[in-house]
Structure 1
Amino acid sequence: MLNQLEIEESEVPKMCLDLYKEYGTTMAGLKVLGYEFDNDEFHEYVHGRLPYEKLKPDPVLRNLLLSMPQRKIIFTNADKAHATRALNRLGLEDCFEGIICFETLNPCSDSKTHILCKPSVEAFEAAIRIADIVDPRKTIFFDDSIRNIASAKATGLKTVFVGNSVLVPGADYALSSIHNIKEAIPDLWEDNKDEKLEPLVQQAAVAGMVHA
């Protein structure tokens, strides 16, 4: 892949980080810079080097997700193969109604086409349409990215910043651990509420939306 893109190996780490910060993913940034490549080959190259064996089943999170009565949807910048593999390793493959992923947002495989992905507001608006969410205010988005949280809030979603208990701009809740959902947002388990919230989970280890 490095040879195909004619990028010096020594430049790769900094370039990847800079593009991720600017465009949301390295792939999206490369496309903006004018690089042409096959999307599937890029994903296979990048994800084929990941240590999936380090991901272990998370029964605590699994039980929490299964106990939530709302629809739950994964929303990730990754391709479906990577998202599915990660969920299988975590033991969460049957906890979600569906996966909104790279292929969902970018159905055209043209090597020249720019990539639609988080944190762009357009990506969130597309995900909301695809998930058939009528009222974003009744949907909770979980993510560990400050930029993604801000964009989600801009589209009207309720937001949960995961990985730190300190609120960031645009976050309605902040959790040091995803395992703390029930203590922080007990309304998700209260069926007698007139208005229930539903989750949209972004993929970090897990990411996503919960919709009421």
Structure 2
Amino acid sequence: MTGKRPLPHEGPHAHRHDLRLFQGVEAWIFDLDNTLYPHDADLFSQINEQIAQFVQDLLGLPREEAMAHQKALYHAHGTTLRGLMSEHSIDPDAYLRFVHDIDYSNLAPNPELGGAIEALPGKKFIFTNGDRPHAERTAAALGISDHFEDIFDIVSADLIPKPNRETYDKFLERTGVSSARSAMFEDLSKNLKVPHQLGMCTTLIVPTGSRELFRESWDMEGDPYPHVDFATDDLTGFLKSVLGALAQA
């Protein structure tokens, strides 16, 4: 590639540096796991361990085989739960109780994050492939429960997980929010494809220290992430920047 490198406010991806894209947003939608808390909080790894244990106990498989089967179910059906329901007719309530029986003590209250979420104009929602009790315990541990209008969980979605289009449609129908006036924050790129198609402003939460590497990939020919408007490894700092941009508008 020759020629000078475009400045952040130039070129085809200029919107990815312009926080004014959040002007007019009235609904702020947050994934839960690895989004409202960082990847290194060791919560989701516990959930994965519990899922593997459930599969192992259910099928009587050695640990490695259980983990391999779990991954195959996840990739084939979107979530391990959906795969176990389809292929093994499990009780989803028993599964959800088991896999979310974890230690939340690694989560500390995050008043800065809570303050930033509270200051956002409009309604705020948690939209998770986990269940409501897990979301409630997580939000309580972070000290941010009071800042959300509602929690839309896997049960609310009739056990059909993101990134299925019908799950987003159910969320919009239940909450009554406008997708064109919404912003979604997620740690999985695939879960932002439908929101982008629906007109939402999308932000990908990446592991600490990887934001610039991710942004560099945006400059690759073909653009592998056309559905991601922004990426950040610091949700609190990013929301504060968004609030600053909105205040100046």
Normalised to the residue count of structure 2, the TM-score between the two structures is: 0.66
Q: Does 1:143 align with 2:195?
A: no
Render the CA deviation track for 1:121-174: whole Å, top value 9, x for unaligned. 1111111111102x3111000001011011221232221111253253301111
Paired-residue identity, %: 25
Render the CA deviation track for 1:35-68: whole Å, top value 9, x for unaligned. 11211110111111x2211111111101101111
Distance apart, 1:186 and its partner CA: 3.8
In structure 2, what is the equivalent of residue 171 of structure 1? 228
Higher helix share: 2
Distance apart, 1:19 and its partner CA: 2.7
State the Cα RMSD in Å. 2.2
Count, aligned residues: 181
In structure 1, what is the equivalent of residue 97 of structure 2? 44
Separation of aligned partners in 2, 1:38 and 1:169: 38
| Structure 1: gaps of 5 or more residues | 107-114, 194-212
Counterparts of 1:82-93 in structure 2 under 5 Å? 82-93=134-145
In structure 2, what is the equivalent of residue 64 of structure 1? 116
Of 61, 66, 71, which aligns to 1:12?
66
Shift in alpha-carbon separation, 1:175–1:151, aligned structure 2, 3 A = same
One-letter amino acid of the structure 1 residue matched with residue 132 of structure 2: K
Counterparts of 1:175-190 in structure 2 under 5 Å? 175-182=232-239, 184-186=241-243, 189-190=246-247
Larger Cα Rg: Structure 1 or Structure 2? 2
Shift in alpha-carbon separation, 1:21–1:58, aligned structure 2, 3 A = farther
One-letter amino acid of the structure 1 residue matched with residue 233 of structure 2: S
Separation of aligned partners in 1, 2:190 and 2:183: 16
In structure 2, what is the equivalent of residue 203 of structure 1? none
Shift in alpha-carbon separation, 1:60–1:158, aligned structure 2, 3 A = same
Normalised to the residue count of structure 1, the TM-score between the two structures is: 0.76
